């Protein structure tokens, strides 16, 4: 990786987040370099989704969040999105009454310029979406909806994309497709923060990973480091 690509694109420092009086994140530190896939692992309820929501300005937070060298903590979610962060929430949030094509077009943030992605790119990566072009989003299968929400976010041409549990509830073949898709995204220079519970996909496609427990980062390293640390896996990840 070159020096240019190794500069942190997203830097989170001593991040605390709250839901009302509930203190959820307790000093989270992590970073994502340009052109890198980083996975945030952990059991349900440890604060992984809250971390992404804090980055997007969707929860009350304090600490430091810098993106492309700019402090974004306190900015509104739509401002953060326009600055170049894409977010795929766990609930997918598609528009059920709109067609596949209409959902994709809603992802475009700036119609005055051509981004790195267009509908033809999306349909080339996921031919099933092309077959369903005029189908309402609400009648798609879970796997098709996941493809759609990933593609809709990319239509906004983000520099970094945060994806929350993209493989949840999907068949193994679709999980494999999603993994291939994420690697294709990275090839186009887009950084990825992948929030996952499944260890297999995290070890397969990420370059670095973080493991969360009780609102804190309890482990940071490479996939090989985690493979070799059975004690950490048993304590913080395995059921």
DSSP secondary structure string for all residues of 21-85: TEEEEEEEEEEEETT-EEEEE--TTSSHHHHHHHHTT-SEEEEEEEETTEE-TT--HHHHHHHTE
pLDDT of residue 170: 82
Please, which pLDDT band fits residue 3 given cuts at 50, 70 and 90? very low
Q: Give pTM, 2 decimals.
A: 0.91
Q: Which CATH number does the domain 3-236 belong to among 3.40.630.30, 3.40.50.460, 3.40.50.300, 3.40.1640.10?
A: 3.40.50.300
- Provide the mean pLDDT of the chain: 91
pLDDT of residue 224: 96
User: What tens digit of pLDDT does each residue of 196-230 get?
Assistant: 988 889 999 999 999 999 999 999 999 999 999 99
Both tokens of 214, joined, read 């009780």
Question: How is residue 109 annotated by DSSP?
Answer: S
Rounded to whole angstroms, how far apart are CA atoms 71 and 81? 14
State yes or no: pLDDT of 86 exceeds 60.
yes
Both tokens of 115, joined, read 């981004």
pLDDT of residue 59: 95
Find the mean pLDDT for residues 70-89. 95
User: What tens digit of pLDDT does each residue of 184-202 get?
Assistant: 889 988 999 999 988 889 9
Please, which pLDDT band fits residue 178 given cuts at 50, 70 and 90? confident
State yes or no: pLDDT of 2 exceeds 60.
no
State yes or no: pLDDT of 4 exceeds 70.
no
State yes or no: pLDDT of 55 exceeds 80.
yes
Domain boundaries, the chain: 3-236
How far is residue 137 CA from its own chain's centroid?
21
């Amino acid at each position: 990786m070159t020096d240019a690509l190794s500069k942190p694109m997203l830097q989170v420092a001593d991040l605390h987040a709250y839901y009302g009086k509930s203190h959820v994140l307790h000093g989270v530190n992590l970073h994502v370099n340009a052109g890198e896939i980083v996975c945030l692992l952990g059991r349900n309820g440890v604060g992984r989704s809250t971390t992404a929501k804090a980055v997007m300005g969707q929860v009350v937070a304090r600490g430091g969040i810098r993106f492309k060298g700019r402090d974004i903590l306190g900015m509104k979610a739509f401002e953060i999105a326009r600055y170049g962060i894409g977010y795929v929430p766990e609930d997918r949030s598609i528009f059920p009454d709109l067609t596949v094509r209409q959902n994709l077009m809603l992802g475009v943030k700036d119609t005055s310029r051509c981004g790195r992605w267009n509908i033809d790119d999306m349909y080339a990566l996921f031919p099933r979406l092309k077959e369903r072009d005029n189908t309402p989003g609400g009648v798609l299968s879970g796997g098709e909806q996941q493809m759609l929400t990933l593609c809709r976010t990319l239509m906004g041409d983000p520099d970094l994309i945060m994806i929350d549990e993209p493989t949840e509830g999907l068949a193994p073949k679709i999980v494999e497709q999603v993994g291939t898709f994420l690697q294709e995204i990275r090839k186009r220079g887009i950084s990825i923060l992948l929030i996952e519970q499944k260890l297999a996909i995290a070890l397969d496609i990420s370059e670095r990973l973080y493991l969360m427990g009780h609102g804190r980062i309890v482990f940071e390293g490479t996939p090989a480091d985690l493979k070799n640390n059975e004690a950490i896996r048993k304590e913080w990840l395995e059921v």
